[in-house]
Amino acid sequence: MTKSELVTNIRLHFPELSEADCLLCLNEMITYMSHHLSQGNKFEIRGFGTFSSKQRAARIVRNPRTGEKIQRSETAYPCFKSGKMLKDRLNKILSNTL
């Protein structure tokens, strides 16, 4: 699902909101989550999952094209751990398709 599909879906459930309002809300939520994660905090949506950021240590990597070794600095990356309700719902859907 793309961002525009999500905005359209939200608008179908809340017809009193304009498309611009739905997009603004979605953008604000993404901005808030990104800012919160960039500070090293977790962001939990009960039943859905938990977003967090982790640190990857500095290391030496190899350029696959040239074979040159490069020192890579420490980097942060986002993580997502699904919640129990989401896992249960996915497993229920999967078991119904088999």
Buried residues in 82-92 as b, exposed as e (16+ CB within 10 A): eeeeeeeeeee
pLDDT of residue 93: 83
**Section 7-34 average pLDDT:** 94
Place of tokens 């070794």: 69
Domain borders along the chain are 1-38, 40-98
Gap between the Cα atoms of 29 and 10, Å rounded = 14
In terms of CATH, what superfamily is 40-98?
IHF-like DNA-binding proteins (4.10.520.10)
Task: Give the rounded percent of residues in the chain with a pLDDT score beyond 70.
Answer: 99
pLDDT digits (tens, 9 = 90+) for 35-79: 999 998 999 999 999 999 999 999 999 999 999 999 999 999 999
pTM for the full model?
0.73
Q: In whole angstroms, how far apart are CA 37 and each of 30, 42, 57, 85? A: 10, 6, 18, 23
pLDDT of residue 95: 83
pLDDT of residue 98: 66
